[in-house]
Amino acid sequence: MDIDILKSYIPLYKDALFLTMKIGWQGILLSLILGLVGAAVLHFKVPVLKVITGIYIEIFRNTPLLVQLFFIYFALPKVGVKITAETCGVLGLGMLGGAYMIETIRSGLESIPVIQTESALSLGMTKEQTFIHVILPQAISMSVPGLLANVIFLLKETSVFSTISLMDLMFTAKDLIGMYAKTIECLFLLVLFYLIMLLPVSILGAFVERRMRYGQFGD
Amino acid sequence: MSELLKVTHLQKKFGDNVVLKDINLSVKKGEVVVIIGPSGCGKSTFLRCLNGLEEIQDGVIVVDGLPVEAGKREITKLRQKIGMVFQSYELFPHKTVLENIILAPMKVQKRSKDEATKEALELLDKVGLVDKKDYYPRQLSGGQKQRVAIVRALLMHPEILLFDEVTAALDPEMVHEVLETMLALAKSGSTMLIVTHEMSFARAIADRILFLDKGEIVEESNDAKSFFIQPTTERARKFLKTFAYE
Amino acid sequence: MSELLKVTHLQKKFGDNVVLKDINLSVKKGEVVVIIGPSGCGKSTFLRCLNGLEEIQDGVIVVDGLPVEAGKREITKLRQKIGMVFQSYELFPHKTVLENIILAPMKVQKRSKDEATKEALELLDKVGLVDKKDYYPRQLSGGQKQRVAIVRALLMHPEILLFDEVTAALDPEMVHEVLETMLALAKSGSTMLIVTHEMSFARAIADRILFLDKGEIVEESNDAKSFFIQPTTERARKFLKTFAYE
Amino acid sequence: MANLGIDVLFKGTNFLRLLQGLWVSVEISLVSVAISIILGLLVGVLMTLNKLWLKAILKIYLEIVRIMPQMVLLFIVYFGTTRVFGWDITAEAAAIFVFSFWGVAEMGDLVRGSIKSIPKIQFESAYALGMDKKQTYFYIILPQTIRRLIPLSINLITRMIKTTSLVMMIGIVEVLKVAQQIIEANRKASPNAAFGVFAVVFLLYFIVCWPISRLAVYLEKRWA
Amino acid sequence: GSSDNSAATLDAGTTDSSKETGSAAGFRTLDEIKESGTINIGVFSDKSPFGYVDENGEYAGYDVYFAERIGKDLGVEINYVSTEAANRIEYLQTGKVDIILANFTVTEERAQEVDFALPYMNVALGVVSPSDAVVESLDDIGADDQVIVISGTTAETYLTKNYPDIKLQKYDAYAEAKTAFENGNGVAWANDNTEVIAFSIENEGYTVGIPSLGDNDTIAPAVTKGNETLLTWLNDEITSLGDEQFFHADYEATLLDTYGADYEDTLVVEGGKVQ
Ligand SMILES: Nc1ncnc2c1ncn2[C@@H]1O[C@H](COP(=O)(O)OP(=O)(O)OP(=O)(O)O)[C@@H](O)[C@H]1O
Ligand SMILES: Nc1ncnc2c1ncn2[C@@H]1O[C@H](COP(=O)(O)OP(=O)(O)OP(=O)(O)O)[C@@H](O)[C@H]1O
Ligand SMILES: [Mg+2]
Ligand SMILES: [Mg+2]
C-alpha cells in the first residue's frame, strides 16, 4: 500500500463520508417520522390510511432501493416533478427506511400488554393520552435494538446512491479505482471509512441491548 | 342519593357466546361487595363492563347517575369515578412509582404537579411505600406493585373501586400486605367491588357476597359468615368444596 | 435399605449469599415430606440441589446410595431416579402430550416406543387425560399441563418425586385436580418431597413437615395436624398467621 | 412518453434472459440461505456457550459482517483469494461464500436470540428427566429454536435476493445486469427502454419477494 | 525525510511481492492458453456498440468483433467475462482474464498496473449540450452549473485534472447519465466524442459544441503486467491485421449504424499506428 496515495485520497473520502452521513441521517430522520406515523396508523386501525400504509410497506420492503431511487430520480421528472439528487437520496432512503421502521415500531407496540392500555383507560385517560404517555414510550424502548439495526442497514444502503450521481463512499471508491487503478488503497479506505461511520452505531446498539436486558430482568 | 351503582338486565356476549346473562345489581355508597365464582364464569368481564372496557349488548349500567357507554367520548369522565386495579403488570414500567401515580391526575384532571405529588406522598405513606417513590416498578416486589396500583387508583378520587383478583399472582406473604391495605380502605368507608379467590379474605371483608356461575348471579348473601358455612344453592356448595382437602 | 435420600451438612451459596446453611435430612421410602416457608427462604434451591441442577458448596447428598454431584457425567443416571415437577411452563411446546411423555424414556432409558406408549397411556388414563394424548401443551389448561408433567416424571420410574409449587400458577379449581393426583400418588406409596403454599393441602398429605426460614430448617414435625394448630417456634407461628384474616 | 420500451423485452430472447438473470439471483440466495441456516445454527449455539474467547471471536465476526459493505467482501473474496493464495474460485462460488458469510453471522445472531428466549425451565426440565446436554439441545432446544427461526430466515432470503445486484461486480450476470445489457443494446431503437425494463425488473423483484415475505408472516402467526 | 523513506520502502515491498505472485500464478503464457484451448477475455456487456449482449444473448460490438478474431487466430475457444469499469484491472492482475478488451483507454496510471498492447481505436473527448444553450468552451461553464460525466471514463479524469473548478455530476452507467442529461440535470455532457456525437445525431435539440478536447487518446487491449508472450503475440496480430484493413471492416460491421461513414478514418487505428 502506498501511503502517499492514501493521503491524497483521504480528502475525497472525507467529503464522501460527510455527504453519506448528511443524506443518511436526514433519510433516517424521515424514516423515523414515517415509522411513527405509519405505526400509529396501524395501531389505531385508521380506516383507508391503514390500507395505504399496508401497500406502501409491501412495495418498499419487497423491492431493492436501487430500483426505487431510479424511479424517483429518473421517472418523476418525466411527469414534471423535478428534484435534486440529494433530495431524492433523502426521500428514497426515508421511504425505504419508513417501511422497515413501521414494522419495527409496530412490533414494539404489539409487545406491550393490553393491560397497559386498559389500566391507562381506567384511569380516565383518552386513547390519545394513553398512546402518547403510556404505550409509545414503552414501544420505542422495546424497539430500540431493532431501530438501530435498521439505522445500520440504511447507512449501508447508501451505497446505491451512485446511481443518482451522489458521491457516496462506495461510489468514490469505485470511481477512483476506475480512474487511477489503485484497487487496494481504495478498498482499504472504503473499509476504514465505513468503520468510522458504522462502528459507533453498532457499539451503541450492543450497549443499548444489554441495558435493556438488564432493565427487563431487574437490576 | 346513596345508590352509587345500578346495573339492570346487563347482557354481554362475545360473538354468540353469552358470558353475562341478565345481571341485576345495586350498590350503595360505602358497601363492599365481593364476587366469587369458578374460573371463566364472567367475573372479570363483569368488572370490565362496569367501566366501559367492554361493550354490552343489553341492559343499563348507571354509575353515580351517569350511564356507562363504552366507546363514547364521555366514558373518560365516567372512568374517573371508577378506580380499577387488575391482577398484575399494570404499573407503567417506564415511569417511577411517583410518576405512575400522578400521571393521570395531571393529564386527565389537570391538577398541578405539586398538589398531586403532595397527595400521592400522603397516600404512599399510608401504605408504607413513601420511601420507594423514586423506584421503578421492576425494583418492587409484587405486593408493593399492587399497593402502588391501588394508590394510583385512589389519587383520582374515585367513587367506586373495582379489584380484579389483585392477589392472584402474588406470593402468600405479599397477598397479606395487599389485602390488609384493602381492609383498611373498607374500614374508611370506600365503596368497593372485589373479585377474589381468597375465601377467608372474602369472608372478612364482604358486606355482601355474590356467587356468579356461568354468567348468572346464582346466590347473593348479605351475611358472608353464614354463606361460607352454609350456602343455600348446590352450585355454591360444590364450588366452596374445592377449597378444602381431606 | 429403606433410606432413600440422605442430606448431610448441605451448604449452598450464590456468590457470597448463603442460601442454604447446614441442612440435614433423611427421607425413607414411601415418606411424604412437605417443605413450607416464606418466599426466598431457599425451598426451590434445596430441591434443585437434590437433583444436581445447582452445585453445592459443602455437604453430601446421597440418593439411593449414589452421591449427587452436579456437572459429573453420572448425574444423568442419578436424575433418572429423581422425578421433578416445576411451577409451570415446562412441557415441551413443540411436542404433543404423548411425545412429551415418552421422549425421555425412549432417548434416555432406550425403551421401545411401543412399550413406553403403552405405559404412558395407562398413566394418562389414571389422571383422566388419555383423550388429550395428541394435544399440544398450548391446547391444555394449566391444571391439565401439570398433570401431564407429573405423568412425564412418573414414566421414568423415579425413586423420589420432587414437586416445587406445582399449583402456584393455577386457578383454584385446577389446583384441586392437581393436588388430588398427588394425593393419589401418596396413597400408592410414592416417596415425595413437596414444596407448597397450600396449607390445607400440606396438612392433608404430609407425613412430615419441614419449616424452612432463611436457609435453615427451623422446625420439623412428624405431626402435620398439630404443627398447623400449634407450631413450636415463633417464626413458624408468624408465618402461619399470614394465611389467616380477621 | 407513449413508448415506454416494454416491447424491447419481447425482442429475441430478452425476456427469457431476464428471467434467467432473476434465477441466478434467486439461486445464489437460496443456496446461501441453506448454508446460512445450517452453519448459523451451529454458530448460534456456540454464541450461547459461556466461553469468553469464543464469544469474543464470534462477536468480532458479527461486527465485521455488519459493518463491511458486501461489495468489499465480494472483491476481497473473489480477487483477494487469488492474489494471496493463488486460488482461482469461480465468481458464483465467491458470491455464495460472501452471502453465506453474511448469512451465517446473521442467522447465528438470530439463533442466539431465539435460544436465549427459550425459558431456562425448558433446559432444566430436560435435565431433570435425565437427558444430557446433547440430547437436550437436539430434542428440546433446537426444534423450538428452528420454529422461531424459519420466518426470520425467510426474511433473510428476500434481503439476499435484493442484495444480489452487487454480484455483477464480479462478473456474474444477474437480473439487473441483464436489464442494463438490454437497455444498452437497444438504446438507439428505443431510447426509453430504461423505464419499461426497469419497471419490469421492479415487478419481477416484487413478484419473487412478496410471496416469500407473506409466507414468513404466515408462519410467524402459525407458530407464534 | 522519514515519511518519504517509509513510503519508498513500502512501495518497493509491494512491487516485489506483486512480481512474485505475477510469475507464480498471476497470468497464463501464450503456450498455456493454447494448451488449455480457451482464452478468457474481459469485455463490457452493456456498452453498445463496443461491447454488449444482443437480443439473442450473444456478445457483440466493435471490441467483441476483434476478440472473435483473436480466438480464431489462436485456435482457441473464447470465454467472455462481463466486466465493469472499476474491476478491469483487478481481473488482469489476478489472472482471472487473459486479455481486457473493454474499451480500455490507455493512460499513464493504468500503464503502471497493466501492459497495453498496440492501439486499435482513437478516442477524443467531446461535449454535447442543449441546442438552446450550447457550451462552446469549458470556460463558459458557470460556477453553479454541473457537467455530467460517467465514472471511470477519460472525460472524468481529464476534467478533474485540467478543470478542477467545474462541478461534475457522475453516473455509473450510460443509461442513467443520458436520462439525467435529458431531464436537464446538467448543462452539458462530456464523454468520448464518439458517444456525444452519436447522441446528438440521434436526439433532436442537442449540439456538440466542443467536438474535440484535450489530447487524443487511444484504446488498446491490455494484458497482465509482465505477460510478454501474450503481449508480443497481440502486437504482431494487430500489426498484421493492418494489412487486411481488419479494423475498417470491424467499424463497418459494428459502428457504421451509429456513426455513419464520416468518422471511420478518425476512429479506426489500423495496424497499431496512430496517424
Ligand atoms: N376477549 C374475549 N373474547 C372472547 N371470549 C372472552 C373474552 N374474554 C373473556 N371471554 C370469555 O368469557 C368468559 C368469562 O371470562 P372472564 O375472564 O370474565 O372469567 P372470570 O370469571 O374472570 O375467570 P377467572 O377466574 O379465570 O379470571 C370465559 O368463558 C372467557 O372464555
Ligand atoms: N440463580 C440465582 N442466583 C443468585 N441468587 C439466587 C439464585 N436463585 C435463587 N437465589 C436466591 O436464593 C434465595 C432462595 O431462593 P429460592 O428460589 O430457593 O427461594 P424459595 O424458597 O423457593 O422462594 P419462593 O417461595 O418465592 O419460590 C433467594 O434469596 C434468592 O434471591
Ligand atoms: Mg378473571
Ligand atoms: Mg421457589
Write out pLDDT tens, residues E188-214: 999 888 788 888 887 888 998 888 887
Query: Ligand 4 centroid vs C220 CA: distance in angstroms?
Result: 19
Q: Does B14 touch chain C (CB under 8 A)?
A: no
For the whole model, what pTM was predicted? 0.77
Q: Is residue E20 pLDDT above 60, yes or no?
A: no
Between A70 and D27, residue with greater pLDDT: D27
Mean pLDDT computed over B32-56: 90
Q: If contacts are CB pairs under 8 Å, which of residues 28-47 in chain C contact chain B?
A: 38-39
How would residue A208 be classed by pLDDT, with cut points 50, 70 and 90? confident
Looking at residue E14, its pLDDT comes to: 35
Share of chain C above pLDDT 70, in %: 98
Q: Which domains are seen in chain D, by residue range?
A: 6-223 (1.10.3720.10)
How would residue D224 be classed by pLDDT, with cut points 50, 70 and 90? low
Which residues in chain A touch residue D55, judged by CB atoms under 8 angstroms apart? none
Looking at residue C245, its pLDDT comes to: 59
Q: Of the candidates C39, C204, C245, which has its C-beta nearest B246's C-beta? A: C204
Q: Is residue D3 pLDDT above 90, yes or no?
A: no
Q: Kindly give the interhelix angle for A136-157 and A85-110, rounded to the nearest 10 degrees.
A: 140
Chains E and C touch (3+ CB pairs under 8 A): no
Average model confidence (pLDDT) across chain D: 84
Find which of E113, E153, E176 to mutate to test the A interface (most A CBs within 10 Å of its CB): E176
Looking at residue B111, its pLDDT comes to: 93
D169 and E86 within 8 Å at the Cβ level: the answer is yes
Looking at residue B175, its pLDDT comes to: 83
How would residue A54 be classed by pLDDT, with cut points 50, 70 and 90? very high
Looking at residue D83, its pLDDT comes to: 77
CA C117 from chain centre, in angstroms, equals 24
pLDDT in tens, C143-177: 888 889 999 999 999 999 999 988 877 777 778 88
Q: Is residue B1 pLDDT above 60, yes or no?
A: no
CB A101 within 8 A of CB A108: no
- Chains in touch with A (3+ beta-carbon pairs under 8 Å) read B, D, E
pLDDT in tens, C172-187: 777 888 888 888 888 8
Between E193 and D206, residue with greater pLDDT: D206
Closest CA–CA distance from residue B80 to any residue of chain A (Å): 5
**Residue D134: which residues within 8 A CB-CB, separation 6 or more?**
none
How would residue E142 be classed by pLDDT, with cut points 50, 70 and 90? confident
How would residue B36 be classed by pLDDT, with cut points 50, 70 and 90? very high
CA-closest residue to ligand 2 atom 29: C40
Give, as residue ranges, everything with CB less than 5 Å from ion ligand 3: B 44
**Smallest CA–CA distance from D142 into chain C, residue:** C94
Residue C41: CB within 6 Å of ligand 2? yes
Looking at residue C124, its pLDDT comes to: 92
Q: Which domains are seen in chain A, by residue range?
A: 3-210 (1.10.3720.10)
Looking at residue B23, its pLDDT comes to: 93
Residue C19: CB within 6 Å of ligand 2? yes
Q: Which range, of B78-87, B91-100, B131-140, D181-190, averages the lowest pLDDT?
A: D181-190
Looking at residue E16, its pLDDT comes to: 37
- Which ligand 1 atom lies nearest to the CA of residue C171? 26
**Angle, vertex CA A137, rays to CA A132 and CA A143, nearest 5:** 130
- Which ligand 1 atom lies nearest to the CA of residue B38? 25
pLDDT in tens, D138-182: 998 888 888 877 777 777 888 888 888 788 878 888 888 888 888
Helix (H) or strand (E) holding B13: strand B3-14
Looking at residue A213, its pLDDT comes to: 54
E87 and D183 within 8 Å at the Cβ level: the answer is no
Looking at residue C89, its pLDDT comes to: 64
Intervals of chain C under pLDDT 50: 1
D177 and E46 within 8 Å at the Cβ level: the answer is yes
**Smallest CA–CA distance from E180 into chain A, residue:** A74
Mean pLDDT computed over A69-85: 77
Mean pLDDT computed over B157-179: 85
Query: Ligand 1 centroid vs B40 CA: distance in angstroms?
Result: 5
Return the best residue to mutate from C10, C35, C43 for the ligand 2 pocket (most ligand atoms within 8 A of CB). Answer: C43
Looking at residue E24, its pLDDT comes to: 47
Q: Of the candidates D1, D195, D205, which has its C-beta nearest A64's C-beta? A: D205
Return the best residue to mutate from B14, B162, B198, B243 for the ligand 1 pocket (most ligand atoms within 8 A of CB). Answer: B14
Q: Does A192 touch chain D (CB under 8 A)?
A: no
**Smallest CA–CA distance from A70 into chain E, residue:** E176
- Which ligand 2 atom lies nearest to the CA of residue C43? 21
How would residue A216 be classed by pLDDT, with cut points 50, 70 and 90? very low
Mean pLDDT computed over B5-17: 91
Average model confidence (pLDDT) across chain B: 88
Q: Of the candidates A2, A165, A181, which has its C-beta nearest E180's C-beta? A: A165
Looking at residue C100, its pLDDT comes to: 93
Strands E77-82 and E38-43 turn out to be parallel
Q: Of the candidates A113, A125, A141, which has its C-beta nearest B108's C-beta? A: A125
- Burial pattern E150-161, b for ≥16 Cβ within 10 A else e, equals bbbbbbbbbbee
Mean pLDDT computed over A6-22: 91
Between D164 and B58, residue with greater pLDDT: B58
Place of cell 372485589: B194
How would residue A42 be classed by pLDDT, with cut points 50, 70 and 90? very high
Looking at residue E1, its pLDDT comes to: 32
Query: Ligand 2 centroid vs C41 CA: distance in angstroms?
Result: 7
Mean pLDDT computed over D82-86: 78
Residue E236: Cβ within 10 Å count = 14
Three-state secondary structure readout of chain C: CCEEEEEEEEEEEECCEEEEEEEEEEEECCCEEEEECCCCCCHHHHHHHHCCCCCCCEEEEEECCEECCCCCCCHHHHHHHEEEECCCCCCCCCCCHHHHHHHHHHHCCCCCHHHHHHHHHHHHHHCCCHHHCCCCHHHCCHHHHHHHHHHHHHCCCCCEEEEECCCCCCCHHHHHHHHHHHHHHHHCCCEEEEECCCHHHHHHHCCEEEEEECCEEEEEECCHHHHHHCCCCHHHHHHHHCCCCC
Q: Is residue E21 pLDDT above 60, yes or no?
A: no
Q: Is residue A219 pLDDT above 50, yes or no?
A: no
Q: How many Cα atoms sit within 13 Å of E65 on the Cβ side?
A: 17
C63 has which bridge partners? C5, C66
How would residue E236 be classed by pLDDT, with cut points 50, 70 and 90? very high
CB C43 within 8 A of CB C164: yes
Which residues in chain C touch residue D126, judged by CB atoms under 8 angstroms apart? 92, 104
How would residue D202 be classed by pLDDT, with cut points 50, 70 and 90? confident
Average model confidence (pLDDT) across chain E: 84
Query: Ligand 2 centroid vs C167 CA: distance in angstroms?
Result: 18
**Smallest CA–CA distance from D106 into chain A, residue:** A149
D130 and C80 within 8 Å at the Cβ level: the answer is yes
Return the best residue to mutate from C45, C47, C210 for the ligand 2 pocket (most ligand atoms within 8 A of CB). Answer: C45
How would residue B228 be classed by pLDDT, with cut points 50, 70 and 90? confident
Looking at residue E123, its pLDDT comes to: 82
Share of chain A above pLDDT 90, in %: 26
A78 and D206 within 8 Å at the Cβ level: the answer is no
Alpha-carbon span E68 to E81, nearest angstrom: 13
**Angle, vertex CA D25, rays to CA D23 and CA D30, nearest 5:** 90
Q: If contacts are CB pairs under 8 Å, which of residues 158-187 in chain B contact chain C?
A: 171-176, 179, 183
A67 and D76 within 8 Å at the Cβ level: the answer is no
CA-closest residue to ligand 1 atom 18: B42
Place of cell 471511420: E264
Residue C196: CB within 6 Å of ligand 2? no
Looking at residue A114, its pLDDT comes to: 84
Residues with CB under 6 A from ligand 1: B 14, 19, 37, 39-45; C 171
Chains C and A touch (3+ CB pairs under 8 A): no
Closest CA–CA distance from residue C28 to any residue of chain D (Å): 21
D124 and C103 within 8 Å at the Cβ level: the answer is no
Which of A153, A190, A194 is closest to A175 using CA atoms?
A190
pLDDT in tens, D96-150: 999 999 999 988 888 888 888 888 888 888 888 888 888 899 998 888 888 877 7
pLDDT in tens, C212-230: 999 999 998 888 888 888 8
Mean pLDDT computed over E127-151: 88
Which residues in chain A touch residue B79, judged by CB atoms under 8 angstroms apart? 121-124
**Smallest CA–CA distance from A192 into chain D, residue:** D68
Alpha-carbon span C26 to C208, nearest angstrom: 11
Which residues in chain E touch residue D178, judged by CB atoms under 8 angstroms apart? 53
